[in-house]
Structure 1
Amino acid sequence: MSRISTASLFLALPVTLASTPLWADLTPSDVWGDWRQYMESMGYEVEASEAFNGDDLTVSDVTLKMDMAEEGGDFSMSLGTLSFEPEGDGAVNIRMPTVMPMTINVAPETAEDEPVSMVLNYAQTAPVMRASGSAEALQYDYAADSISLTLAGLKVGEQSYTEEEAKFTLIGTGVSSRTEMTGTETRRYDQSGRIDSLQYDVVMKTPEDPARVAVTGGVDQVVFDGSGTLPMIDAGADVTAMMREGLAFDGSFTAGAGRTDMQVSDPENGEFQLISSSTGAKLGVAMGPEGLSYDGGQQDIEVSVTAADMPFPIQFSMAESAFNLKMPVLKSEEPQDFAFGVTLDRFEMSDMIWGIFDPTGQLPRDPATLVVDLSGKAKLLFELMAPEVTATMGDEAPGEIHALNVNEVSLDVAGAEFDASGAITFDNDDMQTVPGMPKPVGALDLSLVGGVALLDKLVAMGLVPQEQAMGARMMMGLFTVPGEGEDSLTSRIEFTEEGGILANGQQIK
């Protein structure tokens, strides 16, 4: 879509959010006018009939429509009848239908593709929404006993799917949210919300495939907090244009205990089941002219897999898994920040898995930990959010790397510990010193403790051929020096301004 579109629908419908002190009496026209202007600015075509009964405003036959130009389809949502009723304290109550159907039609991109039509029902139980503040600074409170999103119909070509073939149900209970929206030329919004329990039930089965996939699960105590700015520019503008005008958001999600159960029923290949759980999760997302970033993770993860062709369940756990990613999204003449990180803390496998390749217990079975923490500077040579540009790039390089910081790379597994750190800059005007890549200048410091002992055990177990072990020992002899303590090796790899490469001070290029 050319806009933030469908995902933004639930922001465009201010069903989240929040009142504080009142500054002036609101009118129903103020609130409905704000909704309509906001949704139209997001690219939706709004159809509705308006009628007053005294001070109350009834807006009926409300429909939102949007062409999904990039996907070759369209989206529509029926809000039914909305009532805007003023209160004595200057606020406005908003009464909504309990069920609001959404229709998505996707046209085929090629002659081989088939059109897709989908109907989703968004339902609410005992919803309460209240608007307060002023026309220039609207605030909304929303609460509902439950909300749900349910697949009500799916058709691909001439094939209509039953609930046994295509099912999607998402149910949230104990829902409350709060939003404050200010500004006209540029909208500023601050949001917070909570769902006490979120449950999902999904079924997928295609007529051509005998396998049926069923996924159920849920998570407790989902909490959201975020803010952003949205420029009210032409509805046809793309995300890149909006970002250059100030589009930005920054939000975080946290959740409590969660569980997922996936079962695959396959008459040809047998049954498969995956069960996973965790005690908590988090996700942060931010986007703006300075770039796009994600960070998230889960705690106390347990995973169990059983399959027809496995003699026993595969089970493993982690104390924590985490990741982070930061990257530029706008073309720029100056290098911009990027970052990448992964943490797998205290990874443990069941003894049954260890027994497959280490039946005699020669390897230490201590929990393993992997940490990768990289950052640097890079220049983007195209607009990441402009699909028409990326589609015509061909083999052109998408960007240039100008600096890489290895803040930490460490691996602790089977009694061996590897660590790396360092910093390297890259001269993109010099592609000759190292053919095909910019000239590097900088150094990396490496260390390995327990590596030789681990290699000897792997050879004794028959997991590593003797000739490969000999080659590894030769490489360690060439590029490392003894460190402090037994079975400890270190190495410093330097890339000089003159284009040379040194290992522990010795020229190797």
Structure 2
Amino acid sequence: MSRFSTSSLCFAVPMVFLSQAALADLTPAQVWGDWQQYMEGMGYSVQGQQSASGNNLTVSDIQLGFEMPDQAGSMNMSMGTIVFVGQGDGSVAVVMPETLPMVMTGTDGTSSSAFKLTMDYIQTGHSMIVSGTPEQMNYAYTADTFGLKLQQLEADGEVIGPETARFDVTGTGLVSNTSMTIGDLRDYQQTGSVGGISYDLFVDNPQEGNQVSLNGNLQNLEMSAEGAIPLLLEKASDTSAMIKAGFEITGAFNAGSSATAMQVTDPVNGDMSLNTSSQGSRLSVDLGADGVSYGGGQTNLQVTMNVADLPFPIELSMAQSAFNLAIPVSKSDEQQDFAFGLTMGDFQMSDLIWGIFDPAGQLPRDPATLVIDLAGKAKLLVDYLDPKVAENMGADVPGEVEAVTINKLLLDAVGAKFEADGQVALDNTDKTTIPGFPKPVGSISFTLDGANGLIDKLVSMGLIPADQAMMPRMMMGMITVPAGGPDQLKSKIDFTTDGQILANGQRIK
């Protein structure tokens, strides 16, 4: 099947239907005209048959087209009929049928790789009202139910119906409000909520006998976003160009309880099933000239997996799971911030899994915790989001790390606990002091509790031979000092400007 730009599809479909896109003025003709202007500014061709009657404007046979960069193919979408109704009070109602057919076609430039996707956008009890002034508009959108349903897929000349491929998303209680200000950019603020969403995905490969099904639900969703969109872009698929033109977005997504179930039928490799649930989840994104950052997490995550080669289920749980990532996106001679974080709080496995490597129960089975919290400075040497730059990067390093700060590093598991923090600057002009690596200057401190006791247990379990256990003990003896308790150690590692490495004041290099 053809491969198409994800960003292109994101701009084409959901923005029209969930009131996140297309800006509008306050008369029917201006509403439709500004929708056209927005999409054309993003690089799409827009066509539709217009018919005016009183305060109403009906636009039928709406067609969107997009040419992929570098003659990589094209995408076209048909979206049926939409009616714009003047309300007589300066506002405009956007009226769509309860079932709005959508047909998407595309090709990568060869007829053998063409595809056709037929879907229905379904909603009941819906209302979309545009009000305000031409310079500052407000979209209010509600729907009792909404959904997206795959009807048919044609790929590489083969027709795939619902019995072979199924995709069905339904939601309830949608409320969305978007305020838009048009100036040099399209600035917007948006809030929204959904009572619940459920999804059902099924794919069958009768030739191989494989089947995959995925279904689940999310409850009590809340969303917020704000940002700016350039009025005109030559290439909407070029994220680097979009950012340089002023594009930025900050968004947050929160949900209550969720559950997912996946079933895989595979006569060759064996069947597999996966079930997950959580009591809460969150996701955030921030993209602009200062960089891109992502964050997310879940509360009370439960995972159960059954695989063909194991006679028992794999059961895992975490009270808290979280991640964050922040990196620069624009080339600069100045240092820019980056960050990385990962939390696995109160991680637990079932006794059946523990029994594989610890049948006698010698290791403590208390919940384990891993925390990684890093920050630093880096110098970005290229605009790696530029498609042309990305194609020619090859094995070249896109940037240089200038400094690393360990805000927190924690591993607490099987009766041992390791904690560290510190800060190190990296001199990229000196890669001879430590061959092939920038010279570090700074210090790292750490504590280690229960390490010798853990080594003793691993030896008694036969997981580590007694003679091999001497090596980690010798290393701890060289770089650590007693910390007060019977099995507590600590250390401070210093990296000096003249290239020395000291452990607790003693030179080790």
Instruction: Determine if the TM-score, normalized by the shorter chain, exceeds 0.5.
Output: yes
One-letter amino acid matched to 2:155: V
- AA matched with 1:503: A
Structure 2 gaps of 5+ residues are none
CA shift for structure 1 position 159:
2.9
User: Is 1:347 the equivalent of 2:350?
Assistant: no
Q: Where does 1:381-400 land on structure 2 (aligned, <5 Å)? A: 381-400=381-400
Q: Give the C-alpha shift of residue 170 in structure 1.
A: 1.2
Partner of 1:76: 76
Change (3 A) 1:347 1:312: same
Paired residue for 2:257?
257
Contact 1:336–1:378 under 8 Å retained in 2:
yes
Tell me how far 1:2 sits from its aligned partner: 7.6
Shifted more, 441-450 versus 122-131: the winner is: 122-131
Match of 1:47 in 2: 47
- Deviation of the 1:470 alpha carbon: 1.2
Which residue does the alignment assign to 1:332? 332
Alpha carbons 2:447, 2:489 under 8 Å: kept: yes
Q: Distance in 2 between matches of 1:371 and 1:440?
A: 23
Does 247-256 or 478-487 show the bigger shift?
A: 478-487
d(CA) in 1 for partners of 2:435, 2:114? 48
* d(CA) in 1 for partners of 2:359, 2:223: 47
> Could you tell me whether the CA contact under 8 Å between 1:3 and 1:43 is conserved in 2?
no
Q: Provide the residue aligned with 1:434 in structure 2.
A: 434
Stretch of structure 1 that moved more, 86-95 or 452-461: 86-95
Determine the C-alpha separation between the residues in 1 that align with 2:102 and 2:157.
22
Query: Distance between the aligned counterparts of 2:383 and 2:226, measured in 1?
Result: 24
One-letter amino acid of the structure 1 residue matched with residue 196 of structure 2: S
Answer whether contact 2:447 2:488 (CA < 8 A) is retained.
yes
Helix, strand or coil at the partner of 2:180: strand
Q: In the aligned structure 2, how far is the partner of 1:452 from the partner of 1:208?
A: 56
Rounded Cα–Cα distance in structure 2 between residues aligned with 1:185 and 1:11: 24
Report the alpha carbon displacement of residue 373 of structure 1 after superposing the two structures with TM: 0.2
- The residue identity in structure 2 corresponding to 1:152 is Q
Distance in 1 between residues matched to 2:322 and 2:156, nearest whole Å: 41
Question: Paired residue for 1:100?
Answer: 101
CA 1:108–1:39 in 2, change beyond 3 Å: closer, same or farther? closer
Pick which of 343-352 and 428-437 moved more.
Answer: 428-437
**CA pair 64-158 structure 1, distance change in 2 beyond 3 A:** closer
Cα distance, 1:208–1:441 mapped onto 2, change above 3 Å:
farther
Residue in structure 1 matched with residue 226 of structure 2 by the alignment: 227
2:244 maps to which residue? Answer: 244
Q: Give the Cα–Cα distance (whole angstroms) in 2 for the partners of residues 212 and 314 of structure 1.
A: 22
CA distance in 2, matches of 1:500, 1:17: 57
Q: Identify if the C-alpha distance between structure 1 residues 467 and 387 changes in structure 2 by more than 3 Å, giving closer, same or farther.
A: farther
The equivalences for 1:119-130 within 5 A come to: 119-130=118-129
Give 3-state SS (helix, strand or coil) of 1:205's partner.
Answer: strand
The residue identity in structure 1 corresponding to 2:69 is A
What residue in structure 2 maps to residue 22 of structure 1?
Answer: none
1:10 Cα deviation (Å)?
4.7
Question: Which residue does the alignment assign to 1:13?
Answer: 16
Residues 104 and 346 of structure 1: CA distance in aligned 2, closer, same or farther (over 3 Å):
farther
For residues 107 and 437 of structure 2, what CA distance do their matches in structure 1 show?
A: 42
Residue 26 of structure 2 corresponds to residue 32 of structure 1: no
Q: Aligned residue for 2:407?
A: 407
Please give the alpha-carbon distance, in whole angstroms, between the structure 2 residues aligned to 1:76 and 1:179: 27
Residue 156 of structure 1: how far off its partner (Å):
2.9
Q: Secondary structure at the match of 2:469?
A: helix
Q: Which amino acid aligns with 1:16?
A: S
Distance 1:107 1:91 in 2: 42
Provide the rounded CA distance (Å) in 2 between the counterparts of 1:14 and 1:155.
24
The residue correspondences of 1:132-147 to structure 2 (distance < 5 A) are: 132-147=131-146
Q: Distance in 1 between matches of 2:208 and 2:109?
A: 22
Would the aligned equivalents of 2:151 and 2:161 in 1 still touch at CA under 8 Å?
no
Corresponding residue number in structure 2 for 1:474:
474
In structure 1, distance between residues paired with 2:445 and 2:127: 60
Classify 1:114/1:462 alpha carbon distance in 2 versus 1 (closer, same or farther; 3 Å).
farther
The 5-angstrom pairing of residues 52-451 of structure 1 reads: 52-69=52-69, 72-97=72-97, 98-107=99-108, 114-236=113-235, 238-451=238-451
Offset of 1:70 from its aligned partner?
6.6
Measured in 1, the distance between the counterparts of 2:82 and 2:155 equals 33
Q: Distance in 2 between matches of 1:45 and 1:405?
A: 48
Q: Could you tell me whether the CA contact under 8 Å between 1:12 and 1:39 is conserved in 2?
A: no
Shift of 1:231: 1.3
Task: Provide the C-alpha distance between the structure 1 equivalents of 2:213 and 2:233, rounded to a whole number of angstroms.
Answer: 43
Counterparts in 2 of 1:457 and 1:108: CA distance versus 1, 3 Å: farther
**Cα distance in 2 between the residues matched to 1:92 and 1:471:** 76
Count of residues paired in the alignment = 501
- Structure 1 distance, partners of 2:35, 2:93, is 14
Provide the C-alpha distance between the structure 2 equivalents of 1:150 and 1:71, rounded to a whole number of angstroms. 31
Q: 1:3 to 1:215 in 2, by over 3 A?
A: closer
Instruction: Return the letter of the residue paired with 1:223.
Output: E
The Cα shift of 1:33 comes to 2.0
SS in structure 2 at match of 1:364: coil
Deviations 1:80-123 (A, max 9, x none): 222211113221111113313041424279x9x94444333322
Deviates more, 1:335-344 or 1:9-18: 9-18
Q: Given that residues 253 and 284 in structure 1 are in contact (C-alpha distance below 8 angstroms), is that contact kept between their aligned partners in structure 2? A: yes
Return closer, same or farther for 1:157/1:2 CA change in 2, 3 Å cut-off: closer
The verdict on how the C-alpha distance between 1:412 and 1:210 changes in structure 2, with shifts beyond 3 A counting, is same
Please report how far the alpha carbon of residue 285 of structure 1 lies from its aligned counterpart in structure 2 after TM superposition. 0.5
Identity, in percent, stands at: 46
| Contact in 1 for aligned 2:81/2:100 (Cα 8 Å) | no
C-alpha separation in 1, matches of 2:75 and 2:177 = 27
Give, in angstroms, the shift of residue 77 of structure 1.
Answer: 2.6
SS state at 1:391 partner: helix
- Secondary structure of the equivalent of 2:392? coil
User: In terms of mean alpha carbon deviation, does 434-443 or 207-216 score higher?
Assistant: 207-216
Q: Letter of the 1:440 partner, please give it.
A: P
The answer (yes or no) to whether the contact 1:77–1:101 under 8 Å persists in 2 is yes
